[in-house]
């Protein structure tokens, strides 16, 4: 293994993120090739968390843009602070009579509200990590706009002119695949698919995130969740869910799984009414028995 990748993996682990070599490799390549990293995978496998960890490892700021349907260039780039502009205009009218001076006064940088994309570009203290979360929720138009921003990291504000990035940010895009990402954007990125973790990795994650969880119990919890994922469910529990569950169980001061507690705490893992109904007493008892074995 490349020494730098190994070092990166260790650094991520120190920050509480158990990364497989493939994840560390992707982060390393994205960093070296200065390309955005597109991360896909089921909900709760740690896509957003990955961006947070990268920012901690690189010791830089994390700037997050949450996407949603209808998100447009205005809300993601900049907005003028109209209220302040208006007040300033009213005050200035009594003293300044030159319209040009008036205009320059109110369209100054101090009245510009920076939204995530612009903030990521203008940050002067080193390159930040720009997390564009759930890009699949934004519409195609926004994707095209993003493509433009990500290719040259410069933005034009009509009243101010073109603003160029001082440091090109490290970009992480995440997608839950509710819709396919366009080819053009995909091509521009490096691509990482995060799978649900294997048993050993999940045990390590649980022990890392839930203080005081002993090895034996963590293993039983992980095994239970792993078996649950093999079932036909509408929403598979991700690592985020299994951490929640382990925390709940340790808060209840338990040190082993039993059918009754599992059933009342199952809401931590399964977030769909029908999934909950179908995972009945009998199923739980069976899973608990298998999780406790060997």
Partner 1 sequence: MNGVTGHLARFAEAMRQHGIRVGLSDEIDAATALPLVDVLDRAEVRSGLRIAFKVPHEAWTIFDRLFDEQWGGATEVPVPPAANPRERRGALQWRWDGTRVRLEAQLVQPTDGEVPGYSPEQLLRRKPFDRISEAELKAIERLLARLARRLATRRSRRLVPTSGRGLVDLRRSFRRAVGSQGDFLRLARRARLVEEPRLVMLFDTSGSMDPYTRFHLAFAFALRRAVRRVEIFAFNTSLTRVSRDIAPAQILRSLDVLASSVPDWSGGTRIGQCLAEFVSTYPELLARDTTVAIVSDGLDLGGNPSLLTAAMRALHERVRTVVWLNPLLGDARYEPTAAGMRAALPYVDCFAPGHDLESLERLTRMVN
Taking the CA atoms of the chain, what radius of gyration do you get in angstroms?
24
List binders of partner 1 among 42-101 (CB under 8 A): 42, 68-70, 72, 74, 79-80, 82, 85-86, 89-90, 93
Q: How far is it, in rounded angstroms, from Cα 237 to Cα 243?
A: 10
Interface with partner 1, residue 199, by CB under 8 A: no
Interface with partner 1, residue 264, by CB under 8 A: no
In terms of DSSP bridges, do strands 170-175 and 37-40 run parallel, antiparallel, or are they unpaired?
A: parallel
Window of 49-57, 114-122, 201-209, 226-234 that interacts with partner 1 by CB under 8 A: 226-234
In terms of DSSP bridges, do strands 129-133 and 62-66 run parallel, antiparallel, or are they unpaired?
A: parallel
Pull the structure tokens for residue 288: 């608990």
Window of 23-31, 52-60, 114-122, 281-289 that interacts with partner 1 by CB under 8 A: 23-31
Pull the structure tokens for residue 140: 């195609």
Q: Would you say 59 or 69 has its CB closer to partner 1? A: 69
- Cα–Cα separations (whole angstroms), residue 232 to 52, 228, 279: 31, 9, 10
Least gap, CB of 256 to partner 1 (angstroms): 25
Interface with partner 1, residue 198, by CB under 8 A: no
Contacts with partner 1, 136-175, as mask; x by CB under 8 A: ---xxx----------------------------------
Q: What is the DSSP string of 67-104?
A: --TT--HHHHSEEE-HHHHHHHHHHHHHH---HHHHHH
Asked whether the beta carbons of 113 and 80 are under 8 A apart, the reply is: yes
Binding residues for partner 1, rule: CB under 8 A, are 1-2, 5, 21-22, 25-26, 28-29, 32-33, 35, 38, 40-42, 68-70, 72, 74, 79-80, 82, 85-86, 89-90, 93, 103, 139-141, 179-180, 182-183, 186-187, 189-193, 195-196, 229-230, 232-234, 236
């Amino acid at each position: 293994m490349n020494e730098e990748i190994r070092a990166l993996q260790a650094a991520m682990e120190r920050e509480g993120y158990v990364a497989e070599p493939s994840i560390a490799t992707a982060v390393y390549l994205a960093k070296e090739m200065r390309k955005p990293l597109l991360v896909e995978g089921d909900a709760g496998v740690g896509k957003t968390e990955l961006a947070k960890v990268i920012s901690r490892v690189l010791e830089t700021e994390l700037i997050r843009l949450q996407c949603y349907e209808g998100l447009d260039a205005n809300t993601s780039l900049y907005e003028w602070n109209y209220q302040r502009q208006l007040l300033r205009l009213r005050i200035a009218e009594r003293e300044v009579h030159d319209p040009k001076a008036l205009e320059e006064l109110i369209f100054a940088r101090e009245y510009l509200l920076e939204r995530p994309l612009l903030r990521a570009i203008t940050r002067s203290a080193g390159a930040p990590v720009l997390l564009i979360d759930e890009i699949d929720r934004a519409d195609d138009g926004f994707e095209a706009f993003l493509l433009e921003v990500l290719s040259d990291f410069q933005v034009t504000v009509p009243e101010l002119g073109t603003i160029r990035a001082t440091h090109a940010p490290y970009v992480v895009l995440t997608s839950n695949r509710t819709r396919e990402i366009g080819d053009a954007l995909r091509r521009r990125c490096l691509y990482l698919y995060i799978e649900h973790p294997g048993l050993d990795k999940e045990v390590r994650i649980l022990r890392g995130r839930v203080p005081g969880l002993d090895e034996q119990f963590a293993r039983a919890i992980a095994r239970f969740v792993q078996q649950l994922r093999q079932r036909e469910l509408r929403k598979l529990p991700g690592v985020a869910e299994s951490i929640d569950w382990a925390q709940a169980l340790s808060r209840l001061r338990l040190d082993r799984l039993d059918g009754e507690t599992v059933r009342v705490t199952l809401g931590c893992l399964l977030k769909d009414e029908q999934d909950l109904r179908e995972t009945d007493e009998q199923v739980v008892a069976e899973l608990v028995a298998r999780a406790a074995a060997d």
